[in-house]
Amino acid sequence: MRHRISFCGSILCVLAALSACGGAPTGAANQDSVPAAPRLANLVFASSQPAPLRPAFEQGITDFAVDVPLGVESTTVTATAVDPAARVDIASVASGTGVASGTVALALGTTEVTVTVTADGGATASYVVRVTRGGELAQQAYLKASNTDAYDFFGSTLALSGDTLAVGAFGEDSKAVGSGGDQSDNTARSAGAVYVFTRSAGVWTQEAYLKASNTDSSDNFGWSVALSGDTLAVGAARETSNAVGSGGDQSDNSAREAGAVYVFTRSAGVWTQEAYLKASNTDSSDIFGSTLALSGDTLAVGAIGEASNAVGSGGDQSDNSAPYAGAVYVFTRSAGVWSQEAYLKASNTDTSDTFGSTLALSGDTLAVGAERESSKAVGSGGDQSDNGVGNAGAVYVFTRSAGVWTQEAYLKASNTEAGDHFGVSVALSGNTLAVGAGREASKAVGSGGDQSDNSARNAGAVYVFTRSAGVWTQEAYLKASNTNAYDFFGSTLALSGDTLAVGAFGEASNAVGSGGDQGDNSAEAAGAAYVFTRSAGVWTQRAYLKASNTDEEDSFGTYVALSGNTLAVGAQGERSNAVGSGGDQSDNSAEEAGAVYVFAPALRGVTVQ
């Protein structure tokens, strides 16, 4: 027998010609009369996110597996028999040929779904699909730089796309230029570097070591990274050239901390610099490239130090009367050429608001954080003119139509307070937006707790918003399961469908791995990561993650990146002197070298007969 699989968008279609082995019927008047064998013409597993079967159908295999993301809590199955008179049972319930089963709940871990086809003559064929939902995340990799050194801050930023992971190390010191240069030359202090890793059969290997095309001391190349398929954008927030736009003169160092962005593309495993981007109004201390967001051929760049007093889209860039008001620049690519499409400012631009302090881009929607914005407004669309609450923070949502970007929403926390830094992180997936307030102070625990209790200074919180018909509404208020002062929960976020990862780099427990003792606070600033999933609009914490070598001041959770079932967590303060993948985690001789930990579901084997 030969069987074939095809994908139908988010639905996995298993096209099969299944025939069971059956003996001749007993007691039959005609011994040459063989009952019709049970055969399927179509078998469809439908869930909210696609996932391939393992292994692909081949003759003699009776057990199959499928791995779905943590947020997928149910599936339906439709089995169509060749013989319309055949009986179809799915999960022991008669479903009828060609009729979708009832909802099959998927528990954390593995759920077995059995499909049985019974021919008119009584012969049966049974097939088992083991659906593993990523509830039990296990550490898959411990990654270090190929040239680990003290104060490189490897893991300070991350970007994950499928089986590719980009890691920034803004403190790296080599003088190398471009891809694959000499990593051992440490004559350019804090020039910065980016390391690209790829996964094959669960093993992560470094694919590239990238530097700027104009490497210089203190440029901090790798301060930000963004990845979309085979395109990687890297910010160097303190680069000093006075160039403007795309492809300008990189050798002019007259604009201190103006900032720059470098775009790389991959072909046949080789990364090459495609573009060198600057602001349209380059100026000293603008810190262009401090944040990035990339989606296909669209790149958003934050410049938290930009000083114009312009408002909205396309305003006067030459007015520098509002230091650190911040700005965002949107670039688009056509035929390999990047051009600036938009210059965006807040609707209530003000000095020191740091508009652009974080970015998230999903298609034609862009979320912009301004963590130091000061209005007292609450929720969506409040009074932007009230500046009585310093560093409360805000988020602005823009949408694009025919190349024009327009502000759609002005969002604040449901419990706006001074110093909360709402908007220090944002994550966007379709019509869902998560916003971190890393210094929020309530003592609440879990989802929907008491927001008015401010007894846990800098504990942190996350707010989830959803959009319907262009209107954004707060859906959830999330806290850690072990809320504590100075945990900075929500300082970094990653969102994929109905799964949300939250970093808390100040969390202090001494637990190790997944699901350890959250009550032990003996490892100050060791850090933690939390995974939440949504079902029917309700968010629930599913995982509490720690490093495999938890230690004080490692800041595990400095940055988080999520792609499908895979979560990467940076720990920029980690101190081991290990190199590459799977090295000695116990060596603490390289102060703040940094490390990255990759988590994925622990998958069970597949029975092959």
Question: Do 374 and 390 form a contact (C-beta atoms < 8 A)?
Answer: yes
Give exposure, 6-30, as e/b (b: 16+ Cβ within 10 Å). Answer: eeeeeebbbebebbeebeeeeeeee
* Placement of tokens 């949408």 in the chain: 399
What residue type is assigned to position 122 of the chain?
Answer: G
Look at residue 24 in the predicted model and tell me its pLDDT: 35
- Domain 158-247+255-345 superfamily per CATH: Integrin alpha, N-terminal (2.130.10.130)
Kindly indicate the confidence band of residue 387, based on its pLDDT and cuts at 50, 70 and 90: very high
SS3 336: coil
| The two structure tokens encoding residue 211 | 């530097």
Q: CB neighbours of 523 closer than 8 A, spacing ≥ 6?
A: 508, 509, 510, 550, 551, 552
Calculate mean pLDDT across residues 553-581: 96
Asked if residues 516 and 541 have their Cβ atoms less than 8 Å apart, the reply is no
Helix (H, G, I), strand (E, B) or coil at 530: strand
Output the pTM of the full model: 0.81
Q: pLDDT tens, 207-252?
A: 999 999 999 999 999 999 999 999 999 999 999 999 999 999 999 9
**What pLDDT score was predicted for residue 136?**
65
Q: What is the largest CA-CA distance in the chain?
A: 99
Separation CA 465–CA 499 (nearest Å): 14
| DSSP-derived secondary structure letter, 73 | -
Element (DSSP H or E) covering residue 466: strand 461-468
Q: What are phi and psi of 242, to 5 degrees?
A: -100, 15
Residue in this structure with the two tokens 């990047």, named with its chain if needed: 338
Q: Which two tokens stand for residue 564?
A: 């499908």
Residue 19: which pLDDT band, with cuts at 50, 70 and 90? very low
Residue environment code for 260-294, b if the CB has 16+ CB neighbours within 10 A, otherwise e: bbbbbbbeeeebebbbbbbbebbbebbbbbbbbbb
Which of 406-436 are b and which e, b meaning 16 or more Cβ less than 10 Å from the residue's Cβ? ebbbbbbbebbbebbbbbbbbbbbeebbbbb
Specify the amino acid at residue 68: V
Using DSSP's 3-state secondary structure scheme, residue 223 falls into strand
Domain residue spans of the chain: 4-133, 158-247+255-345
* Mean pLDDT of all residues in 352-357: 98
3-state SS of the chain: helix, strand, coil percent to 5? 0, 45, 55
Positive or negative torsion for Cα 427, 429, 430, 431? negative
**Residue 54: predicted pLDDT:** 66
Angle formed at CA 276 by CA 271 and CA 278, multiple of 5 degrees: 150
Q: Which two tokens stand for residue 422?
A: 């709402």
20 phi, psi to nearest 5 deg: -95, 155
Burial zone of 315 (CB within 10 Å; 0-12 exposed, 13-18 middle, 19+ buried): middle
In the chain the first and final C-alpha atoms are separated, in Å, by 14
Per the prediction, the chain carries an average pLDDT of: 89
Listed range (95-104, 483-492, 519-528) with the worst mean pLDDT = 95-104
Flag the least confident range among 103-107, 236-240, 346-350: 103-107
Q: Residue 537's closest CA among 462, 447, 410?
A: 447
- For the record, the structure tokens of 214 come out as 């104009």
